[in-house]
Amino acid sequence: MRRPSPRLLLACVLFILLALAPILTIFVGNDYPLIVLTRVLILAMAAVSLDLILGYGGMVSLGHAAFLGLGAYAVGIMTTEGVTSGLVQWPLAILLTALVALVIGALSLRTRGVYFILVTLAFAQMIYFVSVGLDAYGGEDGLVVPTRSRFSVLDLSDRTSFYFLCLVLLFAAIAFVAHLARTRFGLVLRGAAMNERRMRALGFPVYRYRLAAFVIAGALCGLAGILLANHSEFVSPSIMNWGRSADLIIMVVLGGIGSAVGPLLGAMVFMLAEETLSHLTTYWQLIFGPLILIFVRFARSGLIGLFPERSGDG
Amino acid sequence: MSLLIEQTLNGVQLALLLFLVAAGLTLVFGIMDFMNLSHGSLFMMGAYFAATFVPMTGSFVLGGLLAIMCTTLLGFAVEAIWLRPLFGRGHLDQVLGTFGLVLFFNDFVRLVWGAAGRTLAVPQMLAGQVSLGPSLTYPVYRLVLIGAGLVVAGGLYLLVQRTKAGMVIRAAASDRDMAGAIGADVTLVSTFVFGLGAALAGLAGLFAAPLLTVQIGMGDNILILTLVIIVIGGLGSVRGAFLAALIVGLIDALGRAYLPELLRLVLSPVAASTAAGALSSVAIYILLAAVLLVKPQGLFPARGAR
Amino acid sequence: MADLPLLSVKRLLKRFGGLIATDHVDIDVGAGETHALIGPNGAGKTTFIAQIQGELSPDAGAIIFSGRDIAREAAWRRAQQGLARSFQITSVFLQFTALTNVILAVQAQAGHSFRIRRAAVDEPALVEPAQAALAAIGLGDRAHVRAVALSHGEQRQLELAMALAMRPKLLLLDEPMAGMGRQDTARMTEILRKLKTQYSMLLVEHDMSAVEALADRVSVLVAGRVVATGSFAQIRADAHVRAAYLGEKHR
């Protein structure tokens, strides 16, 4: 028997704490904390999906929020058109996101470094403008999603059930990404981030593995988008504002890149900081901006650095 | 015909505005391999300075000069305080650090100028319309802007192509190590380029202020268009940025004017106008995708740049 | 012609701007042969190796490997056909353990890597050959140390272990002794002498005693051109070579 790693323990503790959180609502007497926490979980899921390509794969995508928006819009549009069954909506929405990720990834992975960052940003912006141009579906003002996705076994309109659904899906995503990183596929992804030249010399066609990871990350982020549409019961282009893509990167780095569970920590702290600072002052970004710089300069290993990895690559 | 001329002029004018912002930024990318998201904020600051100093001094020229000066100084300060620690770090750190700067400037503007936008009147002297043909009148200010933009672009071309300083800048943009090897102080060059870039962004802000609403976030839109131009033109290439800006400006302006008509040939009028709106705003991104497929290094890469 | 050489490089040409780095080079490596490539610094040895491996593409010429011209193929395809390069400047995965470094090399030759059922370090099919390659090179007890924490000599050994784990038909060894002390050099020479019986090698090396001990044939590269090919004794006796290369080194 191996002792569980500090990170696994951290994940378990976080899961238990978050699972107990709905009790809070009983004390507070309203749903507000639960609503905020649900949002945290959903954004954390988007951040976890980004960690797969950013943290493990070394691909700095500045357009990840586009997949959040795609998933959300797919649900919003289908609901508007009368397709409310989750069994239809969700697979279609994920498929759509994966396809778009395939196209964007196939193009942008032809580039390196600064180019890759700019190109992912540009394509995300393109999708943003498409959503702005969707006059039939609210255009710039966005679209009200009249009902949440329908499942026969689960009522998503119940806040507590929905919270637990998000929680379970988030931790499934974390476990999936953490597992993926240890498999052959994950080794190739991480190896290519560390030393691409060596990977080619060993005989790996790096591009196709990266592309596969890009598609998986996109689809997973699409799932987060589906949840977001159901949570807010509203979708609008601002979901995939380029600032949102940057926020996701901040969450990943704040928590610790390439750690799967780190982005959850990052998302929690990010949202906490946003809530606290914005209560403190209207001009909270005046403080938050410099904080990011200070963080990047002095605490780059992220919060996960407090929980050392077990030696070895397993 | 007059629509074509008008939209072409509009396109060129947009292109020149974008080029002013892109020129400095592409050099920063090329020379420092630096991922800078904060350049649009300097454009915004330039516009706010202009919207403040021009009414204050009562003179477009004097206020404008003040605005450009302030933006330039701000550029130097930003480089020294905020960006220099990020040189030589990974691109990820640079994305985060400069994004932090974008957030900072947005709220800084909110604090100083308030959340509501500002407007700046077109200078009295240039307020009228000029007739360019039997059925075409065009605002004088926009014409002057095109002229001034061309002059600045020409001056920049001479500076980069014909002077010693320009030679060092080009060398540094295409191959940093080589420039270091021939004894150029790359840090000094980059500081100079940051200053120059800030001045140009300030100038663009000044020019744009009477055309747009001066507001928070105006830098973001410009920034992203600028980044597209830089990728299409090739990182580090001023010439590439100029040509790419022209292409993007013209596609944008002509697309908006003609796409609805074209699409009406195959779609119903309502569908055509909807599709045209969406299509013309994504047209430049489609162009970007096409360029990437054919030439991943951009259309006019700086020599030796990778 | 019953025995075609394993590798046959014909009229290989590479220019960088005005500079000719590889000037119509012809070199053969027979099956089982250890062919050493020597020459002064800047002669274009690493550039040559990089073209064989596929990191650089030649401007003209042919690279016939196992009967096929691979000069236009991607590096990863060449690696899968049995070309393994060890780098002059150590190029390993610094944040991975030594074992994982070699596991990746094994994995590269074990079909596609779209496998996500099990952790790679739990797959005997990967771990056992990787352990064996490490042991063969004398790094067996350092398997679980991160590459970044290995000494320079150990990193050089790891570099070689990774090349071996690819089960190559031909080893492209670019100065395996680079930066090593006398003792490490002797040890590495001994390791290579054992491997020599099992592998074909194209060996770039500066250390003349190592070349003498290992090479069946030696080619001398000067300014991108092969000026002589022959046994070590022949090369040492060649006045042309002495003038161009050995002479200036020994004086």
**Chain segment A213-228, per-residue pLDDT in tens:** 999 999 999 999 999 9
Percent of chain C with pLDDT over 90: 66
Q: For A290, which of B104, B231, B292 is closest by C-beta distance?
A: B104
What is the distance in angstroms between the Cα of A217 and the nearest Cα belonging to chain B?
18
What is the distance in angstroms between the Cα of C4 and the nearest Cα belonging to chain A?
25
Q: Sheet of C200-204: strands edge to edge?
A: C83-86, C170-174, C200-204, C34-38, C217-222, C225-230
Residue A178: name the closest of A56, A44, A16, A64 by CA: A56
Count of beta carbons in the 10 Å neighbourhood of residue B47: 33
What is the distance in angstroms between the Cα of B207 and the nearest Cα belonging to chain A?
25
Question: What is the total count of domains within chain A?
Answer: 1
How many Cβ contacts (< 8 angstroms) between chains A and C?
Answer: 107
Side-chain half-sphere exposure of A214, counting CA atoms within 13 A: 28
**Which chain C residue is nearest to residue A181, measuring alpha carbons?**
C119
Q: What is the rounded average pLDDT of the residues B211-232? A: 90
A125 contacts chain B (CB < 8 A): yes
Residue-averaged pLDDT of chain A = 92
Q: Supply the pLDDT for residue B304.
A: 46
Structural contact between residues A73 and A132, judged by C-beta atoms closer than 8 angstroms: no
Comparison of pLDDT for A313 and A259, the residue scoring more: A259
Q: Give the range of the structural domain holding residue A14, as residue numbers without chain letter.
A: 6-306
B147 contacts chain A (CB < 8 A): no
- pLDDT band per the 50, 70, 90 thresholds, residue A97: very high
Q: Supply the pLDDT for residue C17.
A: 78
A234 contacts chain B (CB < 8 A): no
Q: What is the rounded average pLDDT of the residues C202-230? A: 91
Residues of A in contact with C109 (CB under 8 A): 203
Per-residue pLDDT reduced to its tens digit, B144-195: 999 998 999 899 888 888 888 788 887 777 776 666 666 667 778 888 889 9
ipTM of the complex as predicted: 0.91
Tell which CATH architecture fits domain C1-82+168-251. Answer: 3-Layer(aba) Sandwich (3.40)
Q: For A130, which of B91, B103, B282 is closest by C-beta distance?
A: B282
Taken in order B74, B76, B80, B86, is the CA torsion positive or negative?
Answer: positive
Percent of chain B with pLDDT over 70: 94
Q: Supply the pLDDT for residue B178.
A: 66
Please state, in angstroms and rounded to a whole number, the distance separating the CA atoms of residues B32 and B30.
6
Q: Supply the pLDDT for residue B135.
A: 81
Q: Supply the pLDDT for residue A310.
A: 59
What is the distance in angstroms between the Cα of A44 and the nearest Cα belonging to chain B?
18
Helix axes A32-51, A242-255, angle to 10 degrees: 80
Q: Supply the pLDDT for residue C246.
A: 56
Residues of A in contact with B240 (CB under 8 A): none
Q: For A203, which of C79, C120, C122 is closest by C-beta distance?
A: C79
**Which chain C residue is nearest to residue A203, measuring alpha carbons?**
C76
Domain boundaries in chain C? Answer: 1-82+168-251, 92-167
A positions 252-281 inside 8 Å of B (CB): 253, 257
C2 contacts chain A (CB < 8 A): no
Residues of B in contact with A140 (CB under 8 A): none
pTM of the full structure? 0.92
Q: What is the rounded average pLDDT of the residues A100-121? A: 92
The reply to whether residue B296 touches residue A111, judged by beta carbons under 8 angstroms, is yes
Percent of chain C with pLDDT over 70: 96
B29 contacts chain A (CB < 8 A): yes
- pLDDT band per the 50, 70, 90 thresholds, residue B306: very low
B92 contacts chain A (CB < 8 A): yes
Q: For B224, which of A242, A285, A293 is closest by C-beta distance?
A: A242
**Which chain B residue is nearest to residue A296, measuring alpha carbons?**
B93
**Which residues make Cβ contacts (< 8 Å) with residue A287, sequence separation at least 6?**
A277, A280, A281
Residues of A in contact with B288 (CB under 8 A): 119, 122-123
Residues of C in contact with A192 (CB under 8 A): none
Q: Which two tokens stand for residue A224?
A: 């987060």
Chains interfacing with C (3 or more CB pairs < 8 Å): A
The reply to whether residue A187 touches residue C100, judged by beta carbons under 8 angstroms, is yes
Q: Which two tokens stand for residue A296?
A: 């990047």
Please state, in angstroms and rounded to a whole number, the distance separating the CA atoms of residues A273 and A263.
15
**B45 vs B111, B153, B199, B203, C208, CA distance in Å?**
13, 21, 11, 10, 66
**Which chain A residue is nearest to residue B88, measuring alpha carbons?**
A297
Domain boundaries in chain B? Answer: 2-216
Residue-averaged pLDDT of chain B = 86
Comparison of pLDDT for B224 and A222, the residue scoring more: A222
Side-chain half-sphere exposure of C77, counting CA atoms within 13 A: 8
Q: Supply the pLDDT for residue C46.
A: 92
Residues of C in contact with A184 (CB under 8 A): 107, 113-116, 120, 123, 126
The reply to whether residue A202 touches residue C108, judged by beta carbons under 8 angstroms, is yes
Q: Supply the pLDDT for residue C85.
A: 94
The reply to whether residue B293 touches residue A113, judged by beta carbons under 8 angstroms, is no
Rg (CA), chain C: 18
Q: Got the DSSP string for C99-160? A: HHHHHHHHHHTSS-----SSBGGG-HHHHHHHHHHHHHTT-GGGTTSBGGGS-HHHHHHHHH
